[in-house]
Chains A and B, each alone.
Chain A
């Protein structure tokens, strides 16, 4: 990467960050690999930004095709219609910056086979055949987020999650450090951001609204955060929200849920409690703990859990007969179904 200030040097303006003292080693960006799941309204723009910044390698995952209904967002062109999103993205990204290596997977990570392969790409996808430096979630549905969450907890892989609400009026980015910050199963962030339920996280295409503006803002935030994280400048927010109606940008850490349903999350929470010296997130964590502790509780105020109210009166669970094997059960179901 040349620092020479010439009109034909694509990196001169980026390398100027060094001269200005913003970044110590900008050229390190050439060594990093970022895996992006979902190259829709957010992911494609993040991919373009990182490509223009000269990232070393991008691994792109998506199983959707480009449709004309995507044209209200950035990046894709009407001429891409019908192409797999990852293929269309690769064509444009290589044109923008041929120095960047682009690996594409036109696959749904939620199926079992693809999930295993996805884990392998996280572990072996980097330029040197090792672990990728960062995983970014730019997906539009709950199942895919939960899949990334499961992978990243199991592999203890730091990742960032992003999203824009159904009505296109708010969005968020969130840093997830397994065991140290809330994982996606601890507290889905859109639920936190919107003060609503999981129902808010829905899929694109069926009925969601979208805007290039909100998507672009969130993509910009996410890309900026990736640069700050990889090149180690400034602060990396654990959670940053955006409300378009009021131009409100909430920012706060989300501590992990000790009762998280993800076993690996709980295991890592325990590990980092026992080994605080190994924590990757040092200062912010302490600040948060101070802020949330209320030593005096003069009025004896306590928070009632909402779950009890909804608890079903009586739950009946299935009993499998001891002597029954899976094969027995499979054949008795078959027999039952052939009986008219």
Chain B
């Protein structure tokens, strides 16, 4: 998995133009269209690389997202529910990705199953914001987190393969 260089994985995706959050009315819809466009590109690219690793959809106003993400370790697939909300201060502050099934199973996580990204991803978001979006967060935050944590949790037997 090519998660080694965060900046690299970010630069494969185009940036978001519209500076707007979910409380900004029509501007948010513009941003949401851009978010979706980048997501589609990202999903397509993953499929082309035979490296599909998540599935998501949003509610109508794009504020709540749910789906699944998975990680293959030693040819075994580990799959988890994924959910996140767009915070009121987005895009000034990053999205907090949640894997509720892993809540309490690793200390690299906050209450409610929010993955810990303070050291690795938050500074990156700060540097690039407001140009990063959901696809970037998946690619540079959740992806590397899974790559770092799942092998360890799998070895410890904390997570079980999905049937």
What is the size category of the interface that chain A forms with chain B? 35 or more
Chain A CB within 8 A of B93 CB: yes
Chain B CB within 8 A of A203 CB: yes
Complex Cα spacing A324 to B23, Å = 22
Q: Is there contact, CB below 8 Å, between A110 and B87? A: yes
CB-CB < 8 A to B89: which residues of A? Answer: 110, 143, 146-147, 149-150
Complex Cα spacing A146 to B22, Å = 15
Q: A316-B14, A333-B39 are in contact. Are A112 and B85 (CB under 8 A)?
A: yes
Which A residues between 144 and 168 are near B, CB-CB below 8 angstroms? 146-147, 149-150
CB-CB < 8 A to A197: which residues of B? Answer: 123, 126
Q: Is there contact, CB below 8 Å, between B116 and A150? A: no
Q: A261-B92, A317-B14, A326-B33 are in contact. Are A198 and B123 (CB under 8 A)?
A: yes
Q: Is there contact, CB below 8 Å, between B110 and A203? A: yes
Q: Identify the closest chain A residue to B95 (Cβ).
A: A143
Chain B CB within 8 A of A199 CB: yes
CB-CB < 8 A to A142: which residues of B? Answer: 93, 122
Q: Is there contact, CB below 8 Å, between B14 and A185? A: no
Q: Is there contact, CB below 8 Å, between A198 and B85? A: no
Which of B41, B43, B94, B118 contacts A206, CB < 8 Å? B118
CB-CB < 8 A to B58: which residues of A? Answer: 330
Chain A CB within 8 A of B38 CB: yes
CB-CB < 8 A to A143: which residues of B? Answer: 87, 89, 93-94, 96
Q: Identify the closest chain A residue to B40 (Cβ).
A: A333
Q: Is there contact, CB below 8 Å, between A330 and B44? A: no
Q: Is there contact, CB below 8 Å, between A318 and B37? A: yes
CB-CB < 8 A to A315: which residues of B? Answer: 15, 131
Complex Cα spacing A195 to B77, Å = 44
Q: Is there contact, CB below 8 Å, between A206 and B110? A: yes
Q: A142-B122, A146-B93, A206-B116 are in contact. Are A316 and B15 (CB under 8 A)?
A: yes
Q: Mark A311-339, 1 if CB is under 8 A from B, else 0.
A: 01001111111001110011011101101
Q: Identify the closest chain B residue to A327 (Cβ).
A: B60
Q: Is there contact, CB below 8 Å, between A199 and B119? A: yes
Chain A CB within 8 A of B101 CB: no
Which B residues between 76 and 103 are near A, CB-CB below 8 angstroms? 85-89, 92-94, 96
Mind listing 28 A-B residue pairs with CB under 8 Å? A110-B89, A111-B87, A112-B22, A115-B88, A146-B89, A147-B88, A197-B126, A199-B119, A199-B122, A199-B123, A202-B118, A202-B119, A206-B110, A206-B118, A261-B92, A315-B131, A316-B14, A317-B14, A318-B34, A320-B34, A321-B37, A326-B32, A330-B57, A330-B58, A332-B40, A333-B43, A336-B40, A337-B57
